[in-house]
Structure 1
Amino acid sequence: MTKSLFLLPIAILLACTNPAKETATSDSTAVLSDNPSVASIRTGAQQTNKYLPLLKGKRVALSINNTSVIDGKLSMDTLIKLGVNVVKGFGPEHGFRGKASAGAKIGDETDEKTGVPLISLYGSKYKPTKEDMKGIDVMVFDMQDVGVRFYTYLSTLHYIMEACAENNVELIVLDRPNPNDGYVDGPVRDADQESFVGKHAIPILHGLTFGEYAGMINGEGWLPGKAKCKLTVIKMENYKHGMPYTLPIAPSPNLNTQQSILLYPSLCLFEGTVISQGRGTQYPFTILGNPELKGKYKFSFKPVSIPGMSEKPPHMDKECYGLDLRKYDTSIFASTGRINLTWLKEFYAAYPNKGAFFRAANFDRLAGTTKLRNQIIAGKSEDEIRKSWEPQLGEFKEMRKSYVLYN
C-alpha cells in the first residue's frame, strides 16, 4: 500500500505528545490522507454527468453529511451551484455537516449557508415522516460508510429506503468505498437483538458498499411487507473490493484517523464493557484502558471532555491503563479475514471485578447476540467462538455474492 500522509489539525498533532492532557475540540472535516489510491477512484458523487440528468426539473432531497463531498466541497453546495433544486436535507447521527458528538440528539434546523430546511434523523425519529417526504420527487443518499453493522448510517439508509418506498420517491445512491471491505467476519445478528446498531441479520463486517447494501435490502425483502424502493446506484470508477483505501475525510468525530477506522470493527465491542476505547482523547478507537488496571499495564491515558467528540466520556478525568494500538499493524485484519477477539478475552481476564466487566444489554446489541458475552465469560477459545458463528456466516457470504457490483 502506498504510504499515507496524515494531515490532522495541528491541535491533534500537539496533543499526541501527552495523551493525559487534551482539551482540543474535534474537527469533523479532518482530512485523513492524500493517499494516491483516493485520487484514482471516482466516487458516485464525482460523476455528476451520470446523475444530473436524473435530477433535472425535479424537487430533490439530500440525505448526506460532512463526508458527502465533490472535489473537496459539500455536495449540496456544489449541486445547488449546478442548478439542482434542493428542497430539503436529511441528517444522520452527528448531523448534516457532521459536527455533533456521538449519540447527541439533533433537532431540525435551517442550513446557515444555503437556507435549505434540514430534518434530523437522529433526534426524535430515525425515519422521515410522510409530511417530511411531501414535495420531494427524488432522494439522493451519499454518506461515507466504514463497513460494520453497528455504524448507524447503515440503519439510516434502511429508513430512507423505507420512506421512499412508502411515498413513491425515487432513491439515488451515490456510491463510495468501504475501507473495511477486505474481509467479512463476526457473528450474524440474532433476531432478538434488532436495534438501531443492528437493523439486519448480518455479521459485524458485511463487506459491501452502500450501493451494494441498498441492493441487498431491496433484494432480500428487508423493507416492511417486502416492499422495494425505486433504486438507482451511481457506481464508482476504478474501484474493486479489497483494494487499499484511505478515507479522505473523517467519517465521524471519533473515527478521526485511518488507524481508528481499521481498528473500529474489533474495538467497538468494548463500548459494551467497562474498558475505555479512548473517547475523550484525540485518538479514540486506537487505545484501550481502565482505571482498575493500574499495575497490569504500563501505558496510560486520561479521558477528558472534548466538545464535538465526547462530552462525558467513560472514566472522565481518571487515569486509564491498558494498550496503545496506534502503531498496530492493521493489515493483519484483511490478510487473516478476522476481527481481533484476543483483546476482549485479555481485558476480561485482567479486570479484577469480572461481574461488572460487561454492560450486558449494550454489549449484546453490538455483538448482535448474547452468545459472545457468555462465551467470553466461560473462557471459550477463539476457535470455539468462531465455530459458533457458522453456518450463518457462511450463508451470508454466499448471499452477498449476488449483490456485489465491483469485482
Structure 2
Amino acid sequence: MYAKLSLISCLILLASILTTGCSNSTEQSEPAVIVGADRSEIYLPLLENKNVGLVVNQTSMVDSVHLIDYLYRKGVNIKAIYAPEHGYKGTVERGKHVDGTTDPDTGVPVYSLYGKNRKPGPEMLEGVDVVVFDIQDVGVRFFTYISTLNKVMEACAENGIKVIVLDRPNPLGYYVDGPVLDSQFGSFVGLNPIPVIHGLTVGEYAQMANGEGWLKDSIQCDLEVVKVENYTHATKYQLPILPSPNLPDMKSIYLYPSICLFEGANVNEGRGTYKPFQQFGAPYYTPTDFSYVPKSIPVLALHPKFEGDTCYGYDLSGVALSQLQEIRQLEIKYVIDFYNKCDDKENFFISFFDTLAGTDQLRKQIIEGQSEEQIRASWQQDLDKYKQMRKKYLLYDEN
C-alpha cells in the first residue's frame, strides 16, 4: 500500500524531510499545524456508507500513511482514484499524460485527470457519492492542482456529488502579487481571474470558485472544507512532502512563481538539473561567472531546453532560506535582464509566456522597455480588487 512508496518517492521524501526538518512553523514553540487529512474525526463520519472517489497524489498523507491506505483500513468503500498531473504517486514527468490504471494494493481503478480527460466524465463518476480532494498546493496560479480541483468540482456539481476538501496550508499564503488573469488567456494553467501568487489555500480557492460562479454555467458544488488547525496566512509552512518532482525543496518553491515564467521564454529554468528554479540561464547570457549544462534526467526532465549546451546565468541555491521567505512579490527583474541580454529578441518569448502571465501586457511592457516599477503599477488596480474579493473567502487569519 502507500506506506510502501517507490524508491524514487522514498528518496524524494527523505530529501524533503532533511531539507525542511519537518518544521511546520517558524517557531518550535508554536502549536503544530494539523492538516485537514489528520482531522479524521470530522470527515470519517461523512464517508460512512458512501462510495468514495479520491483525488490524491504523494502528498495525501495521514501522519505517515497514505490517505488511500488509511481510508481502506478504516473500511471506507473507495470506488475510484483520480490522478492529477505527475500521477497519483507523483513520479510522472511534467506534461506527460497519465493513462488509467489500477491501484495494485487495493484494486481500485485509477483515472487520469491530466491529458484528454482533465474533467472527470459521468462514466468516471458512476456510483460515486462523494469525492475527497487532498493534494498539497503551492499557491501559484499556474500550478495545475487548483485547476484539477476546479474541474472536479464542476463535474461533481453536474452529477449531484458532494466534494470534501481536506485543506492544507499554502506555503506562499502570506502574500499576493502578480497580474490578475485576463479571461482571454484562460487555460489549464490559469482558469480564473486570480493573480500569479493568489494567497489562498485549496479550500479557500474552492469556496471562491463556488462563490464567484466560476464553475461552468455558474453551477454550485455541494462543498465542505475540513480546515487546517493552528494555521494563519502569516505561517511560513514548510512542506513535509514534495508537491512535484521539480520542486525538490522549499528554496525551489519560494522561487517558483518568478522563475517559472522562463518556461515561456528562451531561457532554461533549471530543468535538467537537480536545482530547478534555483538556477537558470542561457548560452547567450553575460556575464559568464556561473554556468551549468542541462541534461535529461528521468522523472525530472527529459530533453530540457539547451540540453547539452553550457548555460550562463544565476545560481540562487546558496541564498539563505530566511531571505527567500522575505520575498513578497513576483520577481520580474530576471526576465527583464535576460531579455535585454538576448541578441535574438524576436524569438525570446513564445506564446506560452502570455499563458503563464495570464495576459499579453507583461510581455509587451518588457519589449517596450518599461521599468519594473512601471510594470508593477500597471497591475495594482486589478490586484487591489482581487484582494478585496479574497477577503470574503478566507478561512484563516492573515496575521
Q: What is the TM-score with the length of structure 1 in the denominator?
A: 0.91
In structure 2, C-alpha distance between the alignment counterparts of 1:395 and 1:30, rounded to whole Å: 41
* Structure 2 counterpart of 1:354: 345
Cα deviation, residue 331, structure 1: 4.9
Letter in 2 for 1:395: K
Q: Is the 8 A contact 1:277 1:288 kept in 2?
A: yes
What residue number does 2:303 align with? Answer: 312
Matches within 5 A, 1:181-196: 181-196=173-188
Measured after TM superposition, the shift of residue 123 of structure 1 is 2.2
Is the Cα–Cα contact under 8 Å of residues 28 and 66 in structure 1 kept in the other structure?
A: no
**Secondary structure in 2 matching 1:314:** coil
1:124 equivalenced with 2:116 (yes/no): yes
Correspondent of 1:202 among 182, 194, 211: 194
Secondary structure in structure 1 of the residue aligned to 2:124? helix
Contact 2:24–2:239 (8 Å) recurs in 1: no
Match of 2:97 among 105, 118, 136: 105
- Structure 1 residue identity aligned to 2:336: K
1:5-404 superposed matches below 5 A: 27-32=11-16, 33-37=20-24, 40-293=32-285, 296-329=287-320, 331=322, 335=326, 337-359=328-350, 361-404=351-394
Q: How many Å separate the matches in 2 of 1:49 and 1:299?
A: 52
Please give the secondary structure, in 1, of the residue aligned with 2:24.
helix
Q: CA deviation at 1:125?
A: 1.3
Which blocks of at least 5 consecutive residues in structure 1 are unaligned?
Answer: 1-10, 12-23
CA distance in 1, matches of 2:274, 2:23: 26
Give the distance between the partners of 2:14 and 2:220, measured in 1 at CA. 36
Q: Distance in 2 between matches of 1:317 and 1:29?
A: 29
Assess if the C-alpha contact under 8 Å between 1:305 and 1:316 holds in 2.
Answer: yes
Asked whether the 8 Å contact 1:31–1:248 carries over to 2, the reply is: no
C-alpha displacement at 1:81, in angstroms?
A: 0.8
CA drift of 1:336 comes to 5.9
What is the RMSD of the two structures over their aligned residues, measured on CA atoms?
1.8
Q: Relative to structure 2, which stretch is displaced further, 297-306 or 200-209? A: 297-306
Q: Is the 8 A contact 2:281 2:313 kept in 1?
A: yes
> Which runs of 5 or more structure 2 residues have no equivalent in the other structure?
1-6, 26-30
| Whole-Å separation in 2 of the counterparts to 1:397 and 1:333 | 23
> Is the Cα–Cα contact under 8 Å of residues 194 and 200 in structure 1 kept in the other structure?
yes
One-letter amino acid of the structure 2 residue matched with residue 312 of structure 1: H
Per the alignment, do residues 318 and 348 of structure 1 end up closer, same or farther by CA in structure 2, a change over 3 Å counting?
Answer: same
Residues 304 and 26 of structure 1: CA distance in aligned 2, closer, same or farther (over 3 Å) = farther
CA distance in 2, matches of 1:368, 1:70: 35
Scaled by the length of structure 2, what TM-score is found?
A: 0.93
Aligned-pair identity (%): 47
SS in 2 for 1:37: coil
1:203 touches 1:393 (CA, 8 Å); kept in 2? yes
- CA deviations on 1:339-395 (whole Å, 9 max, x unpaired) are 211111111111222122111x10000000000001111110111101110311100
Deviates further, 266-275 or 27-36 = 27-36
Offset of 1:195 from its aligned partner?
0.3
Q: Is the 8 A contact 1:28 1:99 kept in 2?
A: no
3-state SS, counterpart of residue 328 of structure 1? coil
Amino acid at match of 1:196: F
Task: Report if aligned partners of 1:341, 1:382 keep a CA contact under 8 Å in 2.
Answer: yes
